[in-house]
Amino acid sequence: MNLPDRINAQWIDTLSDPELLEAEVNLHETFAALDRAEKARRGESYELLRGPEALTGAWMRWSMVSNAARTRGLRVGARR
């Protein structure tokens, strides 16, 4: 799936349920990898929203899509 640089409600609305779930999985994988790396780097001083822009941006992108999927009544995270 080709994800846009900027995710917004208009783009999300163009997705079918299976496409939305695919985007959620892809974005979660990206966020989770960045999150693990930052946790390893920062240790106990880790704070998600004080992390680097790449991490907070990945969280925001995933969060928007995940919330949209849940709003549609879709089960997210079932394939993890």
Q: In this predicted structure, what is the pLDDT of residue 78?
A: 55
Residue 57 near residue 3 (C-beta atoms within 8 A): no
Q: In this predicted structure, what is the pLDDT of residue 79?
A: 53
**C-alpha to C-alpha distance for 3 and 46, rounded to whole angstroms:** 28
Region 30-49: what's the mean pLDDT? Answer: 95
Please give the mean pLDDT across all residues of the chain.
93
Q: In this predicted structure, what is the pLDDT of residue 1?
A: 82
Q: In this predicted structure, what is the pLDDT of residue 77?
A: 75
